[in-house]
Amino acid sequence: MNGSITDVRGIEVGHWTSAQRPTGCSVVLARGAAGGGAVGGVDVRGAAPGTRETDLLDPANLVDAVHAVLLSGGSAWGLDAAAGVMRWLEEHGTGLAVGDAPGQIVPIVPAAVLFDLHLGDARVRPGADAGYAACQAASSAPPAQGNIGAGAGATVGKLFGMQHAMMGGIGSASVTVGRTTVGALVAVNALGDVVDVETGLPIAGARNGEGPGLRNSTRAALAGEPPIAILAGSNTTIGVLATDAPLAKARAQRLAGAGHDGLARAIHPVHTMSDGDTLFALATGQAPALDFNVLCMMAGDAVARACTNAVRAARSLRLDGLWLPAAGDLMRAP
């Protein structure tokens, strides 16, 4: 057990990070036995989502199996990276077989994106080659966390403006009960603050003034401090839950929903009009079934801890006159 989503049997993770500016993408592969994929679900709760192949995950629709999920920076441009994931999966013989002739395979790759176009040259965005490279890098080793992959340009605590924000990132966590595991990989790019769910204290969020001291965004807003006008969609937390329990498609959707309760506990506020918060769920079926309410509690816990792991693994960034400190660096400051 490595404490991350790759503890889930059948799950691999790979990152691609731009060398040009803070952006990137991350792929979660669930190739399954004989390339059959994992049962998939999704729950979109933010008001400003950017997604691809989510409608097929509706339990009323046909296809059950997902072969990979892509998380990407670059806002809606980043959806193109899914093309590279499809190409890589085709080359590896993984996808929905739609016939016996060459090319008759369709990899199912749902995707969600987050907004990071305000950091550096907005013309640099993850494309198909980035998605392909993330697949090439994928393994069942514990994934790197912090400002890498889809979390490269993630920030948090923006309710009162970017000059008070801090670095977000991508993080992972897992929970095992008996022989069954639920893991989460979450790229945290929230409008809100990230809170330690054990102590209730903010660990990365809006700072007081331009110094390192944290304020509590919700408390400040409820005390009457006006938020800045924020571009719709200029935030967004996206992630993947995976379990090795067997699940029907409708239950996978509900597991993703349980993950959002973890987001609600770890991010304050969350699911706002300028967040496109989206969680996917994958069930590989390689471990014993578990009481579904317990599985949902595991999902909420894994998501919440993935969020705090994300911001704790982040590194401070100075770019274009903007200072975006990271939680770990502030803790080390005198």
Among 301, 305, 312, 326, binds its own copies (CB under 8 A): 301
Place of tokens 């400190």: 325
Q: Binders of its own copies: how many residues, by CB under 8 A?
A: 41
Q: Is residue 60 involved in binding its own copies (CB under 8 A)?
A: no
Q: Which is nearer to its own copies, 228 or 319 (CB)?
A: 228
Q: Which is nearer to its own copies, 106 or 264 (CB)?
A: 264
Contacts to its own copies from residues 304-323, by CB under 8 A: none
- Residue 216 class from Cβ within 10 Å (0-12 exposed, 13-18 middle, 19+ buried)? middle
Part of the chain binding its own copies (CB under 8 A), chosen from 30-38, 110-118, 258-266, 318-326:
258-266
Q: Spell out the residues 6+ positions from residue 281 whose beta carbon is closer than 8 angstroms to its own.
A: 40, 41, 42, 43, 240, 241, 242, 243, 247, 252, 253, 255, 256, 259, 299
CB 126 within 8 A of CB 133: no
Report the nearest approach of its own copies to the CB of residue 161 (Å). 14
- Residue 165 class from Cβ within 10 Å (0-12 exposed, 13-18 middle, 19+ buried)? buried
Report the nearest approach of its own copies to the CB of residue 108 (Å). 26
- The binding track of 218-257 with respect to its own copies, each residue x by CB under 8 A or -, is x--xx-x-xx--x-----------------------x--x
Among 15, 21, 31, 45, binds its own copies (CB under 8 A): 45
Part of the chain binding its own copies (CB under 8 A), chosen from 30-38, 101-109, 138-146, 285-293:
285-293
Phi-psi region of 285 (alpha: psi -120 to 50; beta: other; left: phi over 0): left
Contacts to its own copies from residues 152-211, by CB under 8 A: 159, 175, 177-178, 191, 197-200
Q: Spell out the residues 6+ positions from residue 99 whose beta carbon is closer than 8 angstroms to its own.
A: none
Cα separation, 245 vs 218, in Å, equals: 37
Cβ neighbour number for residue 86 with a 10 Å cutoff: 24
Report the nearest approach of its own copies to the CB of residue 220 (Å). 10
Helix (H) or strand (E) holding 252: helix 249-266
Among 296, 306, 307, 310, binds its own copies (CB under 8 A): 296
CB 275 within 8 A of CB 237: yes
Residues that bind its own copies (CB under 8 A): 45, 47, 159, 175, 177-178, 191, 197-200, 218, 221-222, 224, 226-227, 230, 254, 257-258, 260-261, 264-265, 268-274, 291-294, 296-298, 300-301
